[in-house]
Amino acid sequence: MAISEKGKKRYELIVKTALDLFLKNGYEKTSLSYIVAISGGSLASIYTFF
């Protein structure tokens, strides 16, 4: 699957946001919805990339 430049930037932002939230709140207290709320995008983006 080829990812566009916009998709690569979205992927990197999701990963950075998730890492920050995991370190701050812990894995179990970080939801996908919270990651999306902070990073923007949608749950569909997360499911597409991961």
State the CATH number of the domain containing residue 9.
1.10.10
Provide the residue range defining the domain that includes 37: 5-49
CA gyration radius, the chain: 11
| pLDDT recorded at residue 1 | 63
| pLDDT recorded at residue 2 | 79
pLDDT (tens digit, 0 to 9) for every residue of the chain, 50 residues total?
A: 678 899 899 999 999 999 999 999 999 999 999 999 999 889 999 998 99
DSSP 1-50: ----HHHHHHHHHHHHHHHHHHHHH-STT--HHHHHHHH-S-HHHHHHH-
* Domains of the chain: total: 1
Residue 16, token pair as written in the block:
């950075």
